[in-house]
Structure 1
Amino acid sequence: MGEPSVDRQAIHEELERARRAFHQLLEDASEDDLRRPTDGTRWTNGQMLFHTLFGYILMRPLLILMRIFGRLPRGASRTFARVLDAGTRPFDVVNYLGPLGGAKVLGRRGMGAAFDRVIAYLHRRLDAEREADLSLGMHYPTRWDPFFQDVMTLADIYRYPTQHFEFHRRQLTLPAGPQAAR
């Protein structure tokens, strides 16, 4: 018997809920709200919003990596994941510094537009995926993000940025923070 089919509609709905929530957070936040510290991080709310946006932007390279490593023997992605895990400290520095400037460069309007573009891209890509490709899998650097599992499928990767967004949304100290679009 073959692999069970992936519920693409559920993934599309997750992406749209996240898009609506992201826009609601931006819309409800004052400039002072965006400059206020988050709960439990060194970022401001605006920087955290950029960080969650960046989780979606990273989908393009993650999808490319999956297309490559998902077709190779598992040992190739295991080695790649171990190399990336070994580079966790430099990754953490870049991961921290990126939102410091990214939120300023894009601003509220730019972050909203970028979020719309990346979600539209993910909808198109998901619709274009062959059913068999959604079960492609590879190893991931589990030290980079709590939502990276040792082995993830292409379908798992489509769900990753929304899991990341939901986690960090709870750290926002904005008027519509954790309760938005639930």
Structure 2
Amino acid sequence: MDRQAVYADYARARRTFHALLGHASQGGLDRPSDGTLWTNRQLLWHMLFGYIITRVLLVLARAFSRLPRRLSRGFARLLDAGTKPFDLVNYLGPRGAARIISPQRMGAMFDKVTGALERRLAAEAEADFARGMHYPVRWDPFFKDFMTVADIYRYPTEHFDFHHRQLTLDEPG
């Protein structure tokens, strides 16, 4: 696990996120994104949420990695069976959150959550990076059937970079 690469990716995403928020006009935030049903403001929230949910994914991986692997496989299958309700919640969540959380607050939240992930990464025992569990592959294109703790630390920036390309904001100069 290359911790420095993950720190660098989080720092790059943080700079990018703040630049996007800082240069976005109200009209740009309300413009539809490319390839999603969200506005740019809603998609920015979803990009932030990728980092927020990573903290939960790490807790799940640590817990399930101590159990027989078949339990996490069954849990992942159960979650995959619930993909339709998940997709609805995943769609509606950013629509609601973007209405009540300002871009300034999103920026502060991004700093807080990436800082927490960095502190947790710094404290992670080397042996724990190989721990993992099965994940619901139908929920996210970046979920693999089996993800290690190391994979999970890299997940939010892959998610961020993918969705960054879908924003239709005027890019900061």
Q: TM-score, normalised by structure 2?
A: 0.98
> d(CA) in 2 for partners of 1:40 and 1:146?
14
Cα offsets for 1:94-128 (capped at 9, x unmatched): 00000011112111111000000000000000001
Cα offsets for 1:27-72 (capped at 9, x unmatched): 1110110000001111000000000101111012111101101121
Q: Which residue, out of 154, 164, 168, partners 1:173?
A: 168
- Is the CA contact 2:57–2:152 (under 8 Å) kept in the aligned structure 1? yes
Name structure 2 gaps, 5 residues minimum: none
Name structure 1 gaps, 5 residues minimum: 1-5
Aligned residues: 173
> d(CA) in 2 for partners of 1:62 and 1:79?
16
Q: Does 1:67 align with 2:38?
A: no
Partner of 2:136: 141
Identity %, equivalent residues: 62
Q: Does 1:79 align with 2:74?
A: yes
Q: Does 1:38 align with 2:33?
A: yes
Q: Which runs of 4+ in 1 moved over 4 A?
A: none
Q: Which residue, out of 97, 100, 108, partners 2:95?
A: 100
CA-CA distance at 1:172 after TM superposition: 0.4
Q: TM-score, normalised by structure 1?
A: 0.93
> d(CA) in 1 for partners of 2:56 and 2:117?
12
